[in-house]
């Protein structure tokens, strides 16, 4: 889906280092989300945004922070990466109207050694 991109697509880092993942959309959607997916599991919501500078926590927010300074970009930061944060991270976007499905980005595979 070209309307939503994630960067980087793959990253290997060491424990204790900061990491920032970027989600970029060209759809001008209001809502943006960060999920993580661990092996054998569905996705779990980390944080989401309902507008520029408006964010809220999801189910598994500990150890993560987010920022949204522009409509099109939603950043996920791991201030000090830990091995438990090794996962695949998916960004999603959705419109204001409910009952419209969100669209997911291609994912970022993060490995923390």
Binding test (CB under 8 A) with another protein, winner from 50, 63, 89, 113: 50
Given the DSSP bridges, would you call strands 108-112 and 10-13 parallel, antiparallel or unpaired? parallel
> How many residues in the chain?
113
Q: Should residue 59 be labelled a site residue for another protein when binding is judged by CB under 8 A?
A: yes
Cβ atoms within 10 Å, residue 29: 19
Binding positions for another protein, 84-103, rule CB under 8 A: 90, 92, 94, 96, 98-103
Q: Which residue has the tokens 């490995």?
A: 111
By the criterion CB under 8 A, which residues form the site for another protein?
31, 33, 35, 40-45, 48, 50, 58-59, 90, 92, 94, 96, 98-107
């Amino acid at each position: 889906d070209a309307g939503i991109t994630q960067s980087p697509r793959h990253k290997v880092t060491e424990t204790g280092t900061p990491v920032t993942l970027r989600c970029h959309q060209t759809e001008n959607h209001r809502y943006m989300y960060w999920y993580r997916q661990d092996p054998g599991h569905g996705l779990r919501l980390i944080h989401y945004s309902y507008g520029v500078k408006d964010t809220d926590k999801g189910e598994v927010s500990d150890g993560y922070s987010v920022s949204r300074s522009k409509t099109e970009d939603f950043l996920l930061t791991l201030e000090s990466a830990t091995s438990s944060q090794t996962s695949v991270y998916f960004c999603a976007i959705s419109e204001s109207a409910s009952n419209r499905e969100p669209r997911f980005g291609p994912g970022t595979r993060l490995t923390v050694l």
